[in-house]
Structure 1
Amino acid sequence: MIFVIKIQCSNEKKVEFISNVVNKFPDQLIFKNFYFFDSLSSTQDYAQVLSKQPDTTIPFVVMTDIQTGGRGRRGANWASPKGGIWMSLAFESGLETAEIFTMLILTIYVISESIRSYLGIYPQIKWPNDILVDGKKVAGILVDTEIQRGTLTRVIIGMGINSNNDLEITKSQIIDKSPSAITINYDIATLKSSNHNQEVSNFELVSSMLYNFSKLVPKLSSKLFRDELRQWYKRKIKESSKTLNYNFKLKDKEYTGKIVLVNDDGSILVRNSGPSLDNKLIRIESVFDFSSV
């Protein structure tokens, strides 16, 4: 297997980083091209442009030390200072559009398992796609797709992981300009701060994630494997729901509730814990869609 490494940087450290990842798993990674920069506006945006170029080989990896225009779900700005892991992966796919949520679950699984196996920490999963440690957010995920005739032809997965980035700088950079459809009362953390302030190895985390993606993405063609992923996700949401309360808006009013059911398509039922909705269940199809049931 031939790996073409494309680097834009001022030194050889990034070349060494990627070379060591490739050499750690010889002939086991599905990624053909690697791009590792000092700074990008957004790895996700760069990956989208790159994926449309005819000479680009997919799957590929885009990483950067710093994002100046990182984005999250619902258009939120994502703080990406030096020290964290800011990465996007591009895949070709033949899955049905209904499996977009499965790609999201796979990414949550890979990040969570990499954290667990390396640090011995069991992360919480906050619906729909935030990864928390001790109730504080350490990672977020963004999925962009190309769809033709009901089929996912291309999937780009963006990941932001607060590993060793300065916590105070990160907090100061967080700006969410979008209206809050559904939020949760949580703070942010870094893996370093959750690891007794001991620096964690970005190399080990990235290596683990790329290896697990390489091993598991081909298995997505199996319905049994997709079902196993959904069951894992439901268990994780059920576990975290014991301690996490969700704040949500319905008809311009704010309420607090707990998730009581996660459906296969990712929609949820939330039971209002305040008096204003008389303990009714609220069905949430997505972060933008609220309807009482």
Structure 2
Amino acid sequence: MRDEIIILLKKEGKLSDEAIDEIKQVDVHDFANLVKEIGEQETEYINASEISKDLNTRYIGKNLYVFNEVSSTNTVARFLSMHDIEDGSVIISEKQSAARGRSGKSWESPLGGVWLSIVLNPHVDHSKLPLITLATGVAVAKTLEKVGVENPEIKWPNDIMINGKKVCGILTEAIAKFNTIENVIIGVGIDANLDIEEFPEELKAGTTTLEKELGRKGSENLLIKLFLEEFEKISELFDHEGYEEILKEWRKRSYSIGKIVEVREPFNKNYDAYVLGISKEGALVVEKIDGTLAKVISGECIIKN
């Protein structure tokens, strides 16, 4: 994280080449205010004032930090979360140079997408973390419905699909100390106004964009505003332990239930299974080929044709 923050400061002209060696002797945490200052400057495409105008939230997005380019919004959010950043603060970047998804997979993040991270202090047990990811998926799906997408679906645990192709990924990371969750960073990447032909060949077949699906470009600022409003609604439901309502909304939009999948879990052999549903803890409930039932808590499920 140190190197990523130094690169950001250097790119924004806050550090010279000559200062780098000296900087390496300084606690990187001393640069938190500089990072915040950069995030408060005007950017060309994502407009903080336009997002904030008429933003109907109580605390989500009341503090916005918008950057031209960062390695990853989750990295910046994690760094700022260590420096008294307010609950519900949002870090946005017009581009990401080293974005990542679950299991360390890279995520294409050029200009034209929505790349953001939310810092939360939810005061919850570790066991509730999977539900935060599912709740975020519901918020994204509802946002896409508002901009005209018909039937967006949620693929367990963290992808949003349109017509069987991925349009959004979610990465949830917990910052814990002594088994207590201090902050949760929720990263969201939505392929909005992107040209699918510019994607790497290995991603084209399984990826789509809002521009392609809707047949028109949309406003990234409006999309972010709508999402922050939907996210606060679902997060307040989460805060009041409305877990069953969240799961109900998730099940209505599930892309995974009723499909044959290949389950890939850490430290276990891959196996094929039929997806029966979702548990109250947010685990995927599957039936293996031999008829036994299992709960998939972490990993991924590849849909089999």
TM range (shorter): 0.7 to 0.9
Query: Among 107, 114, 137, which residue is 2:166 paired with?
Result: 137
Percentage identity across aligned positions? 26
In structure 2, the gaps of 5 or more residues are 1-35
Deviation at 1:253, TM superposition (A): 6.6
Q: Provide the rounded CA distance (Å) in 1 between the counterparts of 2:64 and 2:176.
A: 24
Q: Provide the rounded CA distance (Å) in 2 between the counterparts of 1:169 and 1:88.
A: 24
Q: Provide the rounded CA distance (Å) in 2 between the counterparts of 1:284 and 1:150.
A: 22
Q: Provide the rounded CA distance (Å) in 2 between the counterparts of 1:193 and 1:79.
A: 16
Q: Provide the rounded CA distance (Å) in 2 between the counterparts of 1:258 and 1:19.
A: 47
Aligned to 2:228: 210
Deviation at 1:14, TM superposition (A): 5.3
> Residue type of the partner of 1:287?
G
> Residue type of the partner of 2:64?
F
Partners of 2:237 and 2:246 within 8 A in 1: no
Give the direction of change, closer, same or farther, for the CA distance of 1:27–1:264 in structure 2 (3 Å limit): closer
The reply on whether 1:48 has 2:67 as its aligned counterpart is no
Partners of 2:130 and 2:283 within 8 A in 1: no
Query: Among 27, 38, 41, which residue is 2:68 paired with?
Result: 38
Partners of 1:126 and 1:240 within 8 A in 2: yes
Give the direction of change, closer, same or farther, for the CA distance of 1:106–1:248 in structure 2 (3 Å limit): closer
Q: Provide the rounded CA distance (Å) in 2 between the counterparts of 1:122 and 1:77.
A: 27
Secondary structure at the aligned position of 1:199 is classed as: coil
> Residue type of the partner of 2:101?
G
> Residue type of the partner of 2:195?
D
114-123 or 208-217: which moved more?
208-217
Partners of 1:28 and 1:211 within 8 A in 2: no
User: When the two structures are superposed, what TM-score results if normalisation uses the length of structure 1?
Assistant: 0.79
Deviation at 1:29, TM superposition (A): 4.3
User: When the two structures are superposed, what TM-score results if normalisation uses the length of structure 2?
Assistant: 0.76
Partners of 1:14 and 1:36 within 8 A in 2: no
Partners of 2:99 and 2:106 within 8 A in 1: yes
Q: Provide the rounded CA distance (Å) in 2 between the counterparts of 1:249 and 1:128.
A: 12
Deviation at 1:230, TM superposition (A): 1.8
Q: Provide the rounded CA distance (Å) in 2 between the counterparts of 1:27 and 1:124.
A: 25
Aligned to 2:6: none
Q: Provide the rounded CA distance (Å) in 2 between the counterparts of 1:57 and 1:228.
A: 27
Aligned to 1:93: 122
Aligned length in residues: 265
> Residue type of the partner of 2:114?
I
Aligned to 1:180: none
201-210 or 21-30: which moved more?
21-30
In structure 1, the gaps of 5 or more residues are 175-185
Q: Which structure shows the bigger proportion of residues in strand conformation?
A: 1
- The CA deviation string for residues 141-175 of structure 1, in whole angstroms up to 9 with x for no partner, is 0001123465432111000111112212233585x
Aligned to 2:175: 146
